[in-house]
Amino acid sequence: MKNAIITGATGGIGSAIARKLAENGYQLALIYGSNHEGAETLSRELSALTRVKLYDMDFTSPDGYDGQLNDIMKDFGNFDVLIHGAGISYRNLFHEMPEKQFEELMNINVKPLYYISRKIIPSMIENGKGSILGISSIWGSHPASMEVAYAMSKGAMEQFTKSLASELSHMNIRVNAIAPGGVDTNLLSNLSFEEKRDFIEDIPFKRLARPEEIADLILFLLEKGTYITGQVLTMDGGFTL
């Protein structure tokens, strides 16, 4: 039985990934923020398929979350898969962004890459295998007016992905990321109806990605793409072509 740990597990993409991995026999440690009701509902659903444990973590807490990570390692022992799915976005002019929003973006989108990875990687090294996957964004490598701080955070994830892959490849640990364009989740709620309509109109496929499509690519990278590492795979319906 394989163990997977997922951050942002109650989000649209995170929950789709959790469902896909549960269907394929992975035991799950699901990390979420404040959506307790959503977490309990997801846990009840997936517990019919596999072992599931929930952990609520406040990535913005100045006290950190090392104690909770110790509990997770005691509960599971080791992990074959780590998925960095937690993420938020604020949309405004960079020079007008409140400091609180900037700090929250960095705390949720960037800092867990360090704190959680360093806790999980030693068990992967000991087992001689592992896969780390991140949910990035097309704005990690393309200009993102009105979302500068978000783009900064996703650019950090992309360099994290490539550099860590270089560091761990000799230990048979793969590190990759998916960079979606528009995905049909609550993350796009910061767009008005007209902005969302115009965004979709600019996508050659004329639709947003479904979270399940992101989950399908995650499973491919875990089960089939075993010779792939250090890559950020764009999945945007042709938007950036």
Q: Please, what are the domains in the chain?
A: 2-235 (3.40.50.720)
Confidence of residue 61 (pLDDT cuts 50, 70, 90): confident
**pLDDT number for residue 194:** 87
Q: What is the pLDDT of residues 155-201, one digit of tens each?
A: 999 999 999 999 999 999 999 999 999 998 887 777 788 888 988 99
Token pair 């405004």 in the structure block, residue: 92
Token pair 């764009």 in the structure block, residue: 234
pTM of structure: 0.95
The average pLDDT across 204-215 equals 96
Comparing 62 with 142, which gets the higher pLDDT?
142
Q: Is there a catalytic annotation at residue 150?
A: yes
Considering the chain, what percentage of its residues have pLDDT values greater than 90?
90
The average pLDDT across 29-51 equals 97
Residue 218 has phi, psi (to 5 degrees) of: -60, -50
Mean pLDDT (the chain, rounded): 95
**pLDDT number for residue 192:** 81
The enclosing H or E element of 27 equals strand 26-32
- Dihedral Cα 39, 40, 45, 47, nearest 10 deg: 100
Token pair 């740990």 in the structure block, residue: 5
Active-site residue (options: 26, 32, 55, 150): 150
Q: What is the pLDDT of residues 128-138, one digit of tens each?
A: 999 999 999 99
